[in-house]
Structure 1
């Protein structure tokens, strides 16, 4: 009997580009050792090397369609790891690893940078406001990735969504948003990436939810909620999502008291502060709405120009809301 030869890198890459999630899982598993070797050669043993490999794997999930020479996918993966490692060496501020990696593509002579692609379904955004989640939305793997995210424990899912799919990306910003130490952010991100990789490999052939529909539903909910806040009266279907047990936590809450978010929205309206939706990141139990803020003319106590709503949900209903003011 003739042995069946394993698929080549070129075959796996083309199958992955056609939307076959199992092929991409096999490809990443095959190249994990050389990817780790590159990270170790530049960063040595430690968490930074693992971060570089994990960031590269997530980037590959989103950008496999950019590989122009499928037979050379191994070099493409190693180049992404190398770039991620060099970013860590250059920047001591823990800047987000994936936002810059999203601009990587393979040209005829290797890895190079390209501008973000245009997104006709969205208004034109400056480069610093283009979110990796929009790149995921273009990819056949999108629903697989988001379905895997849903299977992570909530604390791990939240830090991963903030780090890679929102504008709150540095370790310090995430620590402030979640009210945890920076070391805990790093630990949770490492756990989240490792668990995500395991879940992706075990769910590659499953049927996945429509992540785009979930995000669009959340976007519409946000717009209706903001319009209700401007009018001073929320529609019944929105009020049902903010039951009596919903709690406002964080800097806008009153110490020692349980606060409901609706009165806080009312106070903002009375001050003349308005919010404008910029970006939505949504899973079934974690929702992030990023806002631009307009203050009334002559305000003596203006609200910062941007903020984000971090909501934890059960059966769509909001359990807690934390309003976060990202640093400059």
Structure 2
């Protein structure tokens, strides 16, 4: 039975670096990843073979480690933890429609704040968002959806949200991860904005926007918080402006459809609101079950909006009827 390839590292050094990284030390995390990169890459090569997929898996794993370093309970075993992330990233690449949840096979902390709560107050999140802002919008949108949204994460869903082929999304993600690594290095020493505060404010904005719409004040929200030239987009095609958004919201409300925010990813230039769509009892299939508002911002005001609707799940096939009894 093949054992996981892993580099020889100093467990004591791993403990010091891991604890420092969990406390928000960016340099410590970088050193930790570099120390274990050979072992991480060896795992990827053993599963995927040489090529760009192996590189993608290692880059994906590094980003996941960056976001989930608070999950590590035993700092002396951080190398095995990193290789587990790589292994799961490889399995994700081997499944055509998989979602990026590379830590589902790992035991979570039973008590205390979860990893997302740790991340929200963690300096590392601010660093990542600052680096994401350095990417072009073409690369930033797929990166945020893949790594920060909770529902629009598969290559196929991101491709449909961006109205481009799946191959284009794979290429953009590969470019985005490479450029993000450069941006992370370039922004490591700079002052970062408060991502947790921005995310909290965006949650409030989402709730306020929906409450205003139900009061009949959605037009007022659009005038106050959105750009006058805000556009509803499908890919690079403009479907309409604020009047189209207002009409669409009014039609949904008249039909009895309501929206409930379930997840927010908020940057200075890109924000994603993920919503449950609640249909009226007498028309349960009026709308798909969920929608993501993918918003490009300029100076804090929404400039472009893409709406990505989660498709209805197909109903399971009915079981075959038993054969009719033969007539007497």
Q: Structure 1 length as normaliser, TM-score?
A: 0.81
* Aligned match of 1:29: 34
Contact between 2:279 and 2:285, CA under 8 Å: does it hold in 1? Answer: no
- How many Å separate the matches in 2 of 1:300 and 1:154? 36
Displacement after TM superposition at 1:44 (Å): 0.7
Moved more, 292-301 or 56-65: 292-301
* Aligned match of 1:234: 218
Matches within 5 A, 1:234-273: 234=218, 236=220, 238-250=222-234, 260-273=244-257
Q: SS state of the match for residue 244, structure 1?
A: strand
Q: SS state of the match for residue 308, structure 1?
A: strand
Contact between 1:25 and 1:201, CA under 8 Å: does it hold in 2? Answer: no
Which of 289, 298, 301 is the equivalent residue of 1:314?
298
Contact between 1:246 and 1:260, CA under 8 Å: does it hold in 2? Answer: no
- How many Å separate the matches in 2 of 1:296 and 1:18? 47
* Aligned match of 1:163: 146
Are residue 64 (structure 1) and residue 48 (structure 2) matched? no
Contact between 1:62 and 1:136, CA under 8 Å: does it hold in 2? Answer: yes
The one-character-per-residue Cα deviations of 1:230-253 (angstroms, maximum 9, x if unpaired) are 1112384652223431112239x9
Q: Which has the larger radius of gyration?
A: 2
- How many Å separate the matches in 1 of 2:238 and 2:135? 31
Contact between 1:310 and 1:321, CA under 8 Å: does it hold in 2? Answer: yes
Displacement after TM superposition at 1:175 (Å): 0.4
User: Alpha carbon RMSD of aligned pairs, Å?
Assistant: 2.8
* Aligned match of 2:55: 50
Displacement after TM superposition at 1:87 (Å): 4.2
The one-character-per-residue Cα deviations of 1:31-80 (angstroms, maximum 9, x if unpaired) are 32332122112101223211210121112212323334434433332232
Q: Which runs of 5+ in 2 are unaligned?
A: 1-11, 314-328
Contact between 1:292 and 1:307, CA under 8 Å: does it hold in 2? Answer: yes
Matches within 5 A, 1:68-147: 68-89=73-94, 92-97=95-100, 99-101=101-103, 103=104, 113-115=106-108, 136-137=119-120, 139-147=122-130
- How many Å separate the matches in 2 of 1:295 and 1:69? 45
- How many Å separate the matches in 2 of 1:80 and 1:24? 15
Q: SS state of the match for residue 277, structure 2?
A: strand
- How many Å separate the matches in 2 of 1:243 and 1:152? 22
Q: 1:172 to 1:117 in 2, by over 3 A?
A: farther
- How many Å separate the matches in 1 of 2:73 and 2:287? 47
Q: Which runs of 5+ in 1 are unaligned?
A: 1-6, 105-112, 121-129
Q: 1:134 to 1:176 in 2, by over 3 A?
A: farther
* Aligned residue pair count: 298
* Aligned match of 1:218: 202
The one-character-per-residue Cα deviations of 1:108-146 (angstroms, maximum 9, x if unpaired) are xxxxx22476787xxxxxxxxx9x855632544221122
- How many Å separate the matches in 1 of 2:79 and 2:284? 57
* Aligned match of 1:107: none
- How many Å separate the matches in 2 of 1:48 and 1:133? 27
Q: Structure 2 length as normaliser, TM-score?
A: 0.81
